[in-house]
Amino acid sequence: QEYTLIKMRVQQLPPALQKVKAVASKSEKVFLVAATLRPETMYGQTNCWLGPDLRYIAVETRTGEVFISTKRAARNMAYQGILAKDNVVEPLLEVKGHELMGVKLAAPLTSYKTIYTLPMLTVKEDKGTGVVTSVPSDAPDDYAALVDLKNKPALREKYGISEAMVAFDPIPIIDVPEYGNLSAPTICESMGIKSQNDRDLLAEAKEKVYLKSFYEGVLLVGDFKGKKVQDVKKSVQDLLLKEKEAVMYQEPEKLVMSRSA
C-alpha cells in the first residue's frame, strides 16, 4: 500500500515536544505526518486526528526535520530512506496521544491557516502513521468524529479541547453526483449516522462515497479546479512532493499471524 505522507507543521511546540529542540532548533521543522490515500482532498483539511491512547515518537529525518508518528511507522520510514539513519529508529522522545491534543498546525493546501490536533478513538495503531488528517467534507468518519466533539462538551473537556478548536466547517472541495459538494455530511445525514461509534454504518458510508468520488467527483478548488478526481490525484500528489509538503511512504503487506480452522 502506497500512501502520501502529509507534513502538518507544528506551529507552537507543546510542553510534551520541547525535547525536539535539540534537533530542530527552529520549530518550523517539526511535523505530524499523516498517511493519506486521498491527496486531492487536502484542500479540505479541518483538523488532525490522534489516538489519545496511542504512543507516538519523534524522529529526525534525513533532511534535518522532525517527524512524529507511531514507532511502527517510523520503523518503516527508516527502511525507506526517510530518516536520518538507515534501518534504525532513534526516538528523540516518546509521547502519548493525549499529551498532544490541541496542538496548532499548519497543513498544506487547506484554506484554514491554523488547524488543531483532536482526539479520535478509532485511529488504528497498525495502519499508516497513527496520525490522520481530517477532511469532514469527504470522509464520513471525519465528519462524524468532528460533530461528536462539537456536540459533546464533556468529550472536549476530557481531552482539554476548547470550542474554538472544533469551530471549523467542512469545506466544499469536490462535487460528487447525487451527494453534492459536501458528500460526507450528506451521506451521514441520509443514513442517520449519529456518532463516530456507528462503525458499521460508517464503513458502508465510506465505501459508497469513496468509489463515487474517485470515479465521478470533480474538484471545485485549487490549481485543478473543474477536473475529475481520477485525472488529478497524481498531479496533486506531485504538487505536494515538489513543494516538499509531502513524502511517499509504503506500508508492507500485513503478515497473516493466524488462520481460521
**Given the rule CB under 6 A, which of 9-17, 111-119, 130-138, 224-232 is the region that contacts ligand ZZB?**
130-138
| Cβ-based nearer residue to ligand ZZB, 16 or 135 | 135
Among 60, 65, 138, 175, binds ligand ZZB (CB under 6 A): 138
Q: Is 188 in the site for ligand ZZB (CB under 6 A)?
A: no
Give the closest residue to 129 by CA, choosing from 14, 21, 253, 250.
250
Applying CB under 6 A, does 98 fall inside the site for ligand ZZB? Answer: no
Count the site residues for ligand ZZB by CB under 6 A.
18
| Residue 40 engages ligand ZZB in binding (rule: CB under 6 A) | no
Nearer to ligand ZZB, 24 or 52 (CB): 52
66-85: contacts with ligand ZZB (CB under 6 A) = none
What pairs with residue 98 in β-bridges? none
Q: Where are the beta strands (DSSP E) in the chain?
A: 2-10, 30-36, 47-50, 55-60, 66-69, 93-96, 104-106, 115-119, 131-134, 174-175, 218-219, 246-250
Residue whose CB is less far from ligand ZZB, 24 or 147: 147
- The answer to whether 46 and 72 are in contact (CB under 8 A) is no
| 136 touches ligand ZZB (CB under 6 A) | no
C-alpha span between 187 and 179 (Å, rounded)? 7
Residues 117 and 102: beta-carbon distance below 8 Å: yes
Among 20, 32, 35, 176, binds ligand ZZB (CB under 6 A): 35
Taking the least distance from each CB to ligand ZZB, the nearer of 19 and 98 is 98
Backbone φ and ψ of 183, nearest 5° = -65, -35
Beta strands in 45-101 (DSSP E): 47-50, 55-60, 66-69, 93-96
CA distance 180 to 184: 9
Contact letters for ligand ZZB, residues 205-224 (x by CB under 6 A): -x--xx--------------
Q: How far is the CB of 126 from ligand ZZB (least distance, A)?
A: 7
CB 138 within 8 A of CB 213: yes
Which residues would be at the binding site for ligand ZZB (CB under 6 A)? 35-38, 41, 123-124, 127-128, 130, 132-133, 135, 138-139, 206, 209-210
